[in-house]
Structures are given as C-alpha cells and as structure tokens.
Amino acid sequence: MIQMFDVYKVYPNKHSALTAINLHINKGDFTFLTGQSGAGKTTMINLIFCAERATKGQIVVKGINLGKIKKSRIPYLRRDIGVVFQDFKLLNSRTVFENVVFALEVTGARRAEIKRKAWQVLKLVGLQNRLDATPLELSGGEQQRIAIARAIINDPTILLADEPTGNLDSEITHDIMELFKNINNRGTTVVIATHNNTLAQQYATRHLTLERGRIINPEEQ
C-alpha cells in the first residue's frame, strides 16, 4: 500500500528531514509514526500525499511511483488519500455541510450523491445534527470530527493524520482515536503521526519511531 525505499528529504536550507527511510505499510494497517518535534513525521506524511517530493529514493503508493507521477495526476491520487491536519484547516465562513462536501464537489458528483455521502460521514462522526453550524460554533473536538468527515467522504483507501489530537484533552483524544479505529475496521489504511507514545501503545497495530529523520526501530518496518 505504502512503500519507501532509501528515501531522503533535504530542504534548500540544507536541513536533512529524512535519512535512509525504508518501510512497507500494508493494506489495512493502523500505523503510528512517533517522535519529537522535528523528527520528520510531518515530512513523511507530506511525501505520501505528494505535498512534497523526496530528494532521493523511491516512494510507491497504491502501486504508483510518486517520483514519476505527472503533476496532472496528483489530484486524482489525492482523491484516494484522506488527510487530517492538526489545525483542522476548516473554512470558517462555510457551514459544516459545506466544509465536508467541498472535496466531493470538485469531483463533479451529483447533488443527491453529495447529500447522501455527507449524511453518512457526519453520522459516522456523530455530528449529523450540526449541518448548518459553522466551525466557530463548534468545540475543538467537534471541529476535528468535521475534519475527519471531510477526509473520508471520498471513501479513501488511505487516511493520513498529522497530530490529530495535539490540541485536544485526554477524554476527547480517546473519542477521536476510537473514531480512527472504527474507520480502520472498515478497511481503511490509517497512518497517524504523533508525539504521543501512549496512544501508539494503546491503538497501533504497527509503530514506527523517528529520531532526527531516521527510523530507530527498523524491526517494525
């Protein structure tokens, strides 16, 4: 599902974010990437959905070599990769419904299909009664649930989450992790980047630890 072969990422300022990364994430895995700030977690997430390009090495996602993919094909690849960001990236001027269906509208889906899928994902995250609310009217946990609903409305086979519980309290964190677990149980490959080792110990089926851009538990690859 996701493979990296001797991957390096060096930024223009000569900062080396990733060094000699080799891994294989299988379909249906619930994988955690842990490590302190600056360890390279976000860079790995960005490489998987083509927000950045590797400096060296090969990355293969769903059988596609990302080093050779044409720019025009990247949006189509991303339709099958949901992404949840730490800061939610919701549009505060739009309703919950509008935020969730945005990703589906760009695919040209019919209005009836959009409404049906929006209801399904909002019911899954427990916010089917907040369709007309705006993000600023919601709690942090509710906003994160909306971000998750938006990420899965296209039925992606891969769901990436970058510090999805970093700004949430422990009780809400548990609820969000249970939601990710439920999504994984439905067949989605989930990759979560976090500094929280306790979460990884509780939920991960696979656990990779990054330190200064290197995987330090290679036996887990």
Alpha-carbon distances of 82 from 13, 21, 129, 152, rounded to whole Å: 30, 22, 23, 6
84 lies in some domain? yes
Asked if residue 67 belongs to a domain, the reply is no
| Contact criterion met (CB below 8 Å) for 188 and 27 | no
Q: Is residue 65 part of a domain?
A: no
Write the CB contacts of 184 (distance below 8 Å, at least 6 apart in sequence).
28, 30, 159, 190
Note whether residue 118 is domain-resident: yes
8 three-state secondary structure: strand
Of the given ranges (21-30, 91-100, 116-125, 166-175), which has the lowest mean pLDDT? 166-175
The 10s digit of each residue's pLDDT in 91-139 is 999 999 999 998 788 788 888 999 999 999 999 999 999 999 999 999 9
Instruction: Pick the more confident residue, 170 or 185.
Output: 185
Scanning the structure block, which residue is given the tokens 């619930």?
Answer: 30
Q: How many domains does the chain have?
A: 1
The SS3 assignment for 174 reads helix
Are the C-beta atoms of 127 and 96 separated by less than 8 Å? yes
Q: Which two tokens stand for residue 126?
A: 């427990």
59-71 pLDDT, tens per residue?
999 999 999 999 9
Determine the pLDDT at residue 104. Answer: 83
Q: Is residue 9 part of a domain?
A: no
Range of 107's domain? 27-41+79-220
Read off the DSSP letter of residue 26. P
State the CATH number of the domain containing residue 119.
3.40.50.300
